[in-house]
Structure 1
Amino acid sequence: MRIIVAGTLRFAGDEVLCSEIIRSGAEHIVSSRKEQGCVAYNWAVDPLDAGLIHVYEEWESERALLGHFAHSSYAAMRDHLGRYELTGFAVQIYSAAGVEPVYDEDGWPRREIFGVSLNPPAG
């Protein structure tokens, strides 16, 4: 089962500070991306809310995420972020039982997702 980690970190500062946090933490992001079971790992500055960083991670399994928490890259990332004034955070773990593409084979948004359709079958 895929595991998603997503949410936000808020820092006392502006988008310049948040950009610096990400740039100076790039080695931790790169290291995490190389870990066993990492599908995606990214931090991004919110373009409309100064001081806000969005976090997105995708892991192949619960075990992979737990391995990340025990990995040196995670400890280094926490130490890195600890140098800045964190004023709020809301990061959650989500389980994903299935994965489907957003678009169909013709490039249009899907009309059915995981067997659920906006339009009920004709009866």
Structure 2
Amino acid sequence: MRIVVAGWLTYAGDETTCREIITGGAEHIASGRAEDGCVAYNWAIDPLEPGKIQVYEEWESEEALLNHFRGAPYAAMRSHLENWELTGFGVQLYSVSGVEPVYGNDGWPRREIFGVTLGD
């Protein structure tokens, strides 16, 4: 089953602080992306809230994510993030039972998602 890790971290400071964190952490992001079972791994500055970083990861399985948590790249990333003052966080795990495209062949959002159809 696919696993999504999504949420946010806030730091004392502003967008400049977040840019430093992300730029300095590029090697950690790249290491995460290179791990077996990683589908997506990204940190991004929130465009509306200075000091907030949005986190998104997608893993092929629970095992892949658990291996990530036990690996040296994860430990290095945690160590990197400890260089700044964390003021809050909300990061959750989501299990994904199905995956479908958002858009149909016509380029518009689909009217049916996982068997649920929007009425006219």
For 1:92-111, what aligned pairs fall within 5 Å after superposition?
Answer: 92-111=92-111
**Structure 1 length normalisation: TM-score?**
0.96
Q: Distance in 2 between matches of 1:9 and 1:91?
A: 8
Q: Distance in 2 between matches of 1:115 and 1:30?
A: 36
Deviation at 1:73, TM superposition (A): 0.5
What is the Cα deviation at residue 106 of structure 1? 1.0
Alpha-carbon displacement from aligned partner over 1:22-76 (angstroms, at most 9, x marks no partner): 0000000000000000000000000110000000000000000001001111000
What letter corresponds to residue 117 of structure 1 in structure 2? T
**1:5-30 CA distance string (max 9 Å, x none):** 00000000000110110000000000
Q: Distance in 1 between matches of 2:48 and 2:118?
A: 32
CA distance in 1, matches of 2:67, 2:118: 39
Runs of 5+ consecutive residues of structure 2 not aligned to the other structure: none
What residue in structure 2 maps to residue 75 of structure 1? Answer: 75
RMSD: 0.8
Matched, 1:27 2:16: no
Indicate the SS of the match to 1:57.
Answer: strand
**Structure 1 runs not aligned, ≥5 long:** none
Higher-Rg member (1/2): 1
In 1, the alpha carbon distance for the partners of 2:16 and 2:47 equals 11
Moved over 4 A (4+): none
TM-score (norm 2): 0.98
Local SS of the residue matching 2:8: strand
Please state if 1:38 is matched with 2:38.
yes
